[in-house]
Structure 1
Amino acid sequence: MGSDNTGQSLPSLDSQLDHDFHSGWGSVYTNRSTVGDEETLPLWLQYASNKNSVERKYQQLLHEYTDLFGDFFGGYYPISMHAHATDALLPTTIASLILNTIATSPLVLNSPTLKPKPDENPEDTGKRVRDFALSFLGWDDKHILSPNFIVADNIYGAGYGPLAHTSKEWEISAIASGPKPIVVNMKDTTEEALDAQFKDAKAKGCIAVVFDLVSTEDGLVLHPDNFGMIKACCARNRLLLIVDETMTAMRCGAPFAFQRPEYAQMEADKQPDLVIFGKGIGVSGVAIGFKGVITTGLTYTDPDDIRQTIRYWRALVSRPIRLPLLLEALSILRAAQREDWPAKSEQIGEVIREVIGELDPRTKKPDAVRGLGAVVAVNREVAMRFRIMSAIRRRSPWVRWLPKLSGSSADREELKRQVFGRESKAQRQILAKEADQCGTIPLWCFICGIEATSKDWCRTCYLSFCDNEVCVQAFHRHACV
């Protein structure tokens, strides 16, 4: 708690709620600055006064981040860092990554016949190891020269690149490039049918299956039985299993959503090989686990062997993550661990569902509210009625609510007072007054979810819109709180 110039107590940032459930497409986990973390703050202060002294600690800090990530996310390590999750979801990147992991694995380096020999021509060593890797994966020239993905229908069409082909938004699909992934229905199918589709796709050059547990298309949650079926079919066809957790990490009751009990027990001996992470974790990228459908066969058990293969991959780039981003990412992970954000997400999601059910009984109907934990999917009209800034796919009837993972977000009365109820008008007008004083506007278009641009925004509801004609017209029809 702080105080204003009258000596009165002011609420902490953590206790302040607002109706921004967009949260930067889910990239903002907390209203508080995580750089104040007691272990990281001295490094920030040192960086401000003597940058080089902190730069010299770069590798030490990177190793610390890697170990902390692996501990928090249950044995999944951040191996490949990227500016955006889309950059990580490229078939060529994944193909190179797994080939490197095999080439530097105990299975190769501890083998008398496979490991590099001091007196051997390097080209012969490379060919021998590569041939072994291809045999291990069941790959041929198609998988090397034109690798591709199998993706679940309704998966988010990534902003650009190959996965953008699957987008329902013409603005995204129009800029798609690269091989079209093979789209498969993974929810309403039999194991026999799924196995046949995976087998056919593998023969055509697919190297991995990519899916998410909570659809960004409609908020539907993958049933645990389907998860087990997908894992079993991946194992039979030697396909890498990749789960996209850019939206669901820490928001669905577990560090990664697939680590929830109902998923973890399905084909428990077969886990995802790779996880795509990003958003609020501070950096995007690929995390690798060594008990995966494919990776378990590489016999990684010693932490030193794991660190070594990660170092080999990272050595291919100058620096996988810039130092300021690394410090922030460390702070975020420490806060998540200290405050147990995964557990809070479960509480927050439950309370939000209860509150809107109480204020609007129509949302109690079956399938009216979807999602998992603090990833809440509601009909667009519900979001409009409650005047919530939401993460929206422009043409989808469903929107996503991605609230901050603070304790106050699970406070029923505060949610009514500051976010959902008519009483929220007072909080909204406080935000509006602050924005006017600072020369800012609400961040997100209330209609389509992209960046708000209009200065003709609503000072009563603290909502704005973009300059798209459809959004302009729809916004001016909204009813004020």
Structure 2
Amino acid sequence: MSAPEARNDVSAGDSLDHDMHSGWGSAYTNRSTVGDKETLSLWQEYAIDKAAVDRKYQLLLHEYTDLFYKVFNGYYPISMHAHATDSINPTTIASLILNTAATSPLVLDSESLRPKADEKPEETGMRVRDFALNFLGWNETHVLAPTFVVADNIYGAGYGPLAHASKEWETSAIAAGPKPIVVNMREADEETLNAQFAEAKMKGAIAVLFDMVSTEDGLVFTPEKFGLVKACCARNRLLLIVDETMTAMRCGAPFAFQRSEYARQGAEFQPDFVIFGKGIGVSGIAISFGGVMTKGLTYTRSEDILQTIRYWRALVSRPIRTPNLLEALSILRASVAENWPEQSERIGEVIRDVLHELEPSTKESGAIQGLGAVIAIDRDIALRHRVMCAIRRRSPWARLLPKLGSISADRDALMKQVFGKESKSQRQALSQEAERCGAIPLWCFICGIEATSEDWCRTCYLSYCNNEVCVAAFHRHACV
């Protein structure tokens, strides 16, 4: 392949490469979603007259909220944050559900509970607060020191209270806040799970949190266990939160738990909150008003729902900056136009087939974990095929998070550009492009964090960080 041909291949919007790290799953596509025809004119206007687009902010935010609701089958983006970890905070969730209860039809439609013009504000506040605490089954511990129940193999978070649950010392060392209550949800039976949830509620737990595909080892939360956890949450008046920052769009449904096998389990209740982020364009908390706890607040009218969302968002100046809002709109539109959830199923099947062919050992039960286009394999296999993956430094598992373009389901393209020896020409084209731009490969080939070494492999288009373990391991790799 000549250099000009290589450059055209690299720059194509639907080209493939061996970056299955994808910014910890934040890159769904190689195509520019900014070029979406419905927002392109707004971007162009923003470059010329920022104030004119800013004046449309509320209209754009309402449009985003409505589109998110449609794409994610009834979930509203209520709370926006810079990082998903900012969302997974017990005090944030506690305040959010208190606000949702205090502004619910149960309060505002009640003669005895709703605010009265002739009473002192503090009297109104105490009355509404007492109602909310009673509805949730909370005492002062839940208000002053709220915590979560978490699955025992959840990644946790990069910092904050959930970082206590991390198996990485670099993360657990900077954990702060009340420790979560760790429960083995995957193996516990109904009696055990219910007893553990009840005890946790007494200690200040306000919610149960887990992910559908473990970031620890790729194990999938089974439909039967999902139904059981929902039932135990309802019995103990615990909010149910699903962390979908990695799995949204990638597992055969907008949210992984919306796959048909999960939807059938305890269909009368849904998760109250979903943590979203990564590739959605903005991170945050989505709410359902048919959740384990939220359903009891009797939100049925759209005007009531939108009003409580506005009340919460009014607590910050702007939940999303205008450029991020435009990008988030574009990403959601692209997901609809290209049907990413459906694509993810096909992509996952094809990549698994390729791995079975190249590595017969992966045909054994449990050798490949994950769901849809979230694929977990032995990290030695990923290293052997020189694929950049999302890897936890001390985990034996590597996560493949491919882009969701249709070409990622093209077996021949995967062999020629990613896994096979034929990928050498594509890798060298990427190296030539990087040399021209003064760039290096983005991710450490060994541990997955940001690559820093200028001494990177121009043959394989791989680099590494300055950790001595990664340096040594990188220099042992065999070139394609």
Residues 304-340 of structure 1: CA deviation (Å, up to 9, x unaligned): 1111000000000111111100000000001001111
User: Which amino acid in structure 2 is aligned with residue 56 of structure 1?
Assistant: R
SS in 1 for 2:150: strand
* Alpha-carbon spacing, 1:230–1:458, altered in 2? closer, same or farther (3 Å): same
Matches within 5 A, 1:394-413: 394-413=393-412
* Alpha-carbon spacing, 1:5–1:12, altered in 2? closer, same or farther (3 Å): closer
SS in 2 for 1:442: coil
The aligned counterpart of 1:240 is 239
Matches within 5 A, 1:18-417: 18-417=17-416
Whether 1:477 and 2:476 are equivalent positions in the alignment is: yes
CA contact (8 A) 2:392 2:398 kept: yes
Q: Distance in 1 between matches of 2:281 and 2:79?
A: 14
Q: CA RMSD for the aligned pairs?
A: 1.3
Q: Distance in 2 between matches of 1:128 and 1:186?
A: 37
Question: Number of residues paired by the alignment?
Answer: 477
CA contact (8 A) 2:443 2:464 kept: yes
Q: Distance in 1 between matches of 2:12 and 2:117?
A: 60
CA contact (8 A) 2:10 2:426 kept: no
* Alpha-carbon spacing, 1:106–1:457, altered in 2? closer, same or farther (3 Å): same
Q: Distance in 2 between matches of 1:407 and 1:451?
A: 27
SS in 2 for 1:39: helix
Unmatched tracts of structure 2, length 5 or more: none
Q: Distance in 2 between matches of 1:5 and 1:260?
A: 44
Q: Distance in 1 between matches of 2:457 and 2:85?
A: 34
SS in 2 for 1:337: helix
Matches within 5 A, 1:421-440: 421-440=420-439
* Alpha-carbon spacing, 1:294–1:456, altered in 2? closer, same or farther (3 Å): same
CA contact (8 A) 2:14 2:407 kept: yes
> Under a length normalisation based on structure 1, what TM-score does the superposition of the two structures give?
0.98
* Alpha-carbon spacing, 1:127–1:458, altered in 2? closer, same or farther (3 Å): same
Q: Distance in 2 between matches of 1:300 and 1:14?
A: 43
CA contact (8 A) 1:300 1:306 kept: yes
Residues 380-420 of structure 1: CA deviation (Å, up to 9, x unaligned): 01101111000000000001110000010000110011001
Residues 65-92 of structure 1: CA deviation (Å, up to 9, x unaligned): 0110011001101100000011111111
Unmatched tracts of structure 1, length 5 or more: none
Which stretches of structure 1, 4 residues or more, deviate above 3 A after TM superposition? 8-12
Q: Distance in 2 between matches of 1:353 and 1:86?
A: 30
User: Which amino acid in structure 2 is aligned with residue 78 of structure 1?
Assistant: P
Q: Distance in 2 between matches of 1:36 and 1:266?
A: 40
User: Which amino acid in structure 1 is aligned with residue 190 of structure 2?
Assistant: E
SS in 1 for 2:20: coil
Identity of aligned residues (%): 72
CA contact (8 A) 2:9 2:15 kept: no
Q: Distance in 2 between matches of 1:281 and 1:255?
A: 11
Residues 318-367 of structure 1: CA deviation (Å, up to 9, x unaligned): 11111100000000001001111011011100100001111221111111
Give how far 1:11 is off.
7.9
User: Which amino acid in structure 2 is aligned with residue 173 of structure 1?
Assistant: S
Give how far 1:289 is off.
0.4
Give how far 1:13 is off.
2.5
CA contact (8 A) 2:94 2:146 kept: yes
SS in 2 for 1:14: coil
Q: Distance in 2 between matches of 1:12 and 1:306?
A: 44
Q: Distance in 1 between matches of 2:9 and 2:284?
A: 38
Q: Distance in 1 between matches of 2:151 and 2:391?
A: 20
User: Which amino acid in structure 1 is aligned with residue 318 of structure 2?
Assistant: R
The aligned counterpart of 1:443 is 442
SS in 1 for 2:365: coil
Q: Distance in 1 between matches of 2:359 and 2:126?
A: 65
CA contact (8 A) 1:157 1:172 kept: no
Q: Distance in 1 between matches of 2:205 and 2:331?
A: 35
CA contact (8 A) 1:14 1:406 kept: no
User: Which amino acid in structure 2 is aligned with residue 243 of structure 1?
Assistant: V
> Under a length normalisation based on structure 2, what TM-score does the superposition of the two structures give?
0.98
Give how far 1:15 is off.
2.7
Give how far 1:12 is off.
6.9
Q: Distance in 2 between matches of 1:421 and 1:302?
A: 55
* Alpha-carbon spacing, 1:214–1:5, altered in 2? closer, same or farther (3 Å): closer
* Alpha-carbon spacing, 1:5–1:221, altered in 2? closer, same or farther (3 Å): closer
SS in 2 for 1:396: coil
CA contact (8 A) 1:14 1:407 kept: no
User: Which amino acid in structure 2 is aligned with residue 202 of structure 1?
Assistant: K
CA contact (8 A) 2:441 2:461 kept: yes
Residues 198-237 of structure 1: CA deviation (Å, up to 9, x unaligned): 0000000000000001000011001111100100000000
SS in 2 for 1:450: coil
Q: Distance in 1 between matches of 2:207 and 2:184?
A: 15
Q: Distance in 1 between matches of 2:52 and 2:85?
A: 33
Q: Distance in 2 between matches of 1:437 and 1:338?
A: 34
